[in-house]
C-alpha cells in the first residue's frame, strides 16, 4: 500500500504534463466553438484516441496507480482545458466503471473495448440511471427488467434521462428494477448492446453549461437483451435478492448497496477533480487579468478587494484538491470512508468551482460577462458539479448520516 503523499513521482509528472499539453493545444482552442455548436466534438475525441488519452489502456493505467492519484490528476488537467469537451472525452468512463464495479471478467473483457472503439472509429458509451421522477431518489425508479426464462432474455421498459452520450452511445449501461418489493436493493445493471431494437434517443437537452457534452433521454420499449447482459450474472443476482428478502423478513440487517450507488461512490472523487480543474482554470485567467488590467493608473491586483479574492480562490482550490486526493488515496488503499470522505471531496470541490468561477467573472467585470473571455463559459460549466452524480444536498445528507449514524431525511 502506497503512503499518502502530495508529491507526484517522475512518471506521474510526465503523464500530467502530457495531458496538460493536450488540454492546452487541442481542447482549449476548440472549446468556444463546440460550446456554441452544442454538439459532440467527435474530431477532438478522435485526436484524444490517436494520442492514447481516449482509450481503455490509459484509464486502466491511471485507475491502477497505486497512489490513487492517477485519475484525479488526469481529470483535473482535462477539465482545466474545457469542461464540456473533457466530459465528452471521459463520459464513457462512468459506463465503464459500472461494468468494472458490477460485471464479470468476461463482461469486462467483451464490452469495455466496444465502448471506446478504435482511433479510426471512435465510439462512446452511456450510463443510464436517472429518470424523470427518480434523480436523487433512486428508490423511485420505474424502469423494469423482466426475465423471460423461455428465451433466456431480459426485457427492459422505461425512460432514462440526463444520460451523458444517451442515444448516441455504442453501448448503454442501464440500471433497472428487477424486484420492486426490495426498493433500491432490487435494482440491477444491464448491458444494452449496439443496435438493440427498442432503444431510442428521446429529448436532447439544451443546457446552461457543458454544452459540448451530449445529454439526452433514453427510451426503452420492449428492449430484449441476452441473459448474459445482466452485469454480474443471474446466479449472483438471485443470491443477492434472496439475502435481501431474508433481511427484510428479519426486520433489517446489513445494508446492501445497489448497482447505481456503487458506481457513484467510485466516481465522486473524480468528479471533485473535474471541479478543481475548472476552478483552477478560472482562477488562472482572473490572476493574469488582474496583473495586466489597469485602472486609475495601476494594476487592479494592487487593490486589496481583488487581491484578497484571489488569495481566497487559490486557498479553496488547494483545499479542494487535498480532499480529492485524500479520498482517492483512501479508495485505492482500501480504507473505508468512515466520515464519507468521498462525498466530502465532491461537495467541497463542487461548491468551490461555483464560487471561484463567479469570483473570476467579478474580477473581469464587464469583460467577464461576455463570451470573449472564457470565464463566462467556465462559470456556466461549473453549475453542473453541484448537481450531477449526487447534488450538494445529497452529499451533505450522506455525510450527516455517516457521521451521526442516524436516518436523517
Active-site residue list: 389
97 phi and psi angles, rounded to 5 deg: -60, -40
User: Which residues, in sequence order, are CB contacts of 372 under 8 Å at separation 6+?
Assistant: none
Handedness of CA 394, 385, 347, 129 (dihedral sign): positive
Q: Which of 196, 213, 175 has the alpha carbon at shortest distance from 99?
A: 175
Q: What is the DSSP letter of 173?
A: E
| Residue 342: C-alpha distances to residues 74, 81, 252 (Å) | 18, 24, 26
Q: Which residue has the cell 435494482?
A: 187
DSSP string spanning 72-140? HHHHHHHHHH-HHHHHHHHTHHHHHHHHHHH--HHHHHHHHHHHHEETTEE--EEEE--BTTBSS-GGG
User: Which residues, in sequence order, are CB contacts of 395 under 8 Å at separation 6+?
Assistant: 268, 340, 343, 344, 346, 347, 350
- 8 A C-beta contact, residue 271 and residue 391: no
d(CA 5, CA 45): 32
Q: Which of 197, 207, 195 has the alpha carbon at shortest distance from 163?
A: 207
3-state SS class at 289: helix
Amino acid at each position: 500500500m502506497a503512503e499518502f503523499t502530495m508529491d507526484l513521482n517522475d512518471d506521474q509528472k510526465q503523464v500530467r504534463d502530457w495531458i496538460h499539453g493536450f488540454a492546452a493545444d487541442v481542447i482549449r482552442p476548440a472549446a468556444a466553438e463546440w460550446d456554441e455548436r452544442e454538439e459532440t466534438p467527435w474530431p477532438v475525441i478522435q485526436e484524444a484516441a490517436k494520442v492514447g488519452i481516449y482509450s481503455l489502456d490509459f484509464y486502466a493505467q491511471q485507475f491502477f496507480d497505486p497512489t490513487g492519484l492517477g485519475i484525479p490528476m488526469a481529470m483535473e488537467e482535462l477539465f482545466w482545458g474545457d469542461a464540456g469537451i473533457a466530459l465528452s472525452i471521459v463520459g464513457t468512463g462512468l459506463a465503464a466503471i459500472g461494468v468494472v464495479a458490477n460485471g464479470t471478467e468476461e463482461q469486462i473483457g467483451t464490452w469495455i473495448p466496444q465502448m471506446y472503439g478504435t482511433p479510426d472509429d471512435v465510439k462512446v458509451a452511456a450510463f443510464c440511471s436517472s429518470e424523470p421522477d427518480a434523480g436523487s431518489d433512486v428508490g423511485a425508479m420505474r424502469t423494469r427488467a423482466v426475465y423471460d426464462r423461455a428465451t433466456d432474455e431480459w426485457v427492459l421498459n422505461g425512460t432514462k434521462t440526463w444520460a451523458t452520450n444517451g442515444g448516441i452511445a455504442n453501448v448503454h449501461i442501464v440500471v433497472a428494477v428487477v424486484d420492486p418489493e426490495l426498493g433500491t436493493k432490487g435494482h440491477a445493471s444491464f448491458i444494452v448492446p449496439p443496435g438493440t431494437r427498442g432503444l431510442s434517443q428521446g429529448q436532447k437537452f439544451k443546457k446552461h453549461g457543458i454544452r459540448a457534452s451530449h445529454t439526452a433521454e433514453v427510451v426503452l420499449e420492449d428492449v430484449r437483451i441476452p441473459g448474459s447482459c445482466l452485469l454480474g450474472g443471474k446466479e449472483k443476482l438471485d443470491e443477492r435478492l434472496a439475502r435481501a428478502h431474508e433481511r427484510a423478513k428479519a426486520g433489517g440487517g446489513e445494508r446492501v448497496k445497489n448497482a447505481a450507488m456503487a458506481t457513484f461512490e467510485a466516481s465522486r472523487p473524480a468528479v471533485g477533480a473535474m471541479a478543481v480543474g475548472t476552478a483552477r482554470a478560472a482562477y488562472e485567467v482572473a490572476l493574469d487579468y488582474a496583473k495586466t488590467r489597469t485602472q486609475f493608473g495601476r494594476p487592479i491586483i494592487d487593490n486589496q478587494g481583488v487581491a484578497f479574492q484571489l488569495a481566497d480562490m487559490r486557498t479553496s482550490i488547494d483545499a479542494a484538491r487535498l480532499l480529492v486526493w485524500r479520498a482517492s488515496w483512501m479508495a485505492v488503499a482500501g480504507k473505508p470512508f468512515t466520515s464519507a470522505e468521498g462525498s466530502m471531496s465532491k461537495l467541497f470541490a463542487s461548491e468551490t468551482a461555483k464560487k471561484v468561477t463567479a469570483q473570476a467573472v467579478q474580477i473581469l467585470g464587464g469583460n467577464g460577462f461576455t463570451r470573449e473571455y472564457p470565464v463566462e463559459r467556465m462559470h456556466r460549466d461549473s453549475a453542473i458539479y453541484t448537481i450531477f452524480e449526487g447534488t450538494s444536498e445529497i452529499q451533505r445528507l450522506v455525510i450527516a448520516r455517516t457521521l451521526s449514524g442516524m436516518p436523517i431525511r
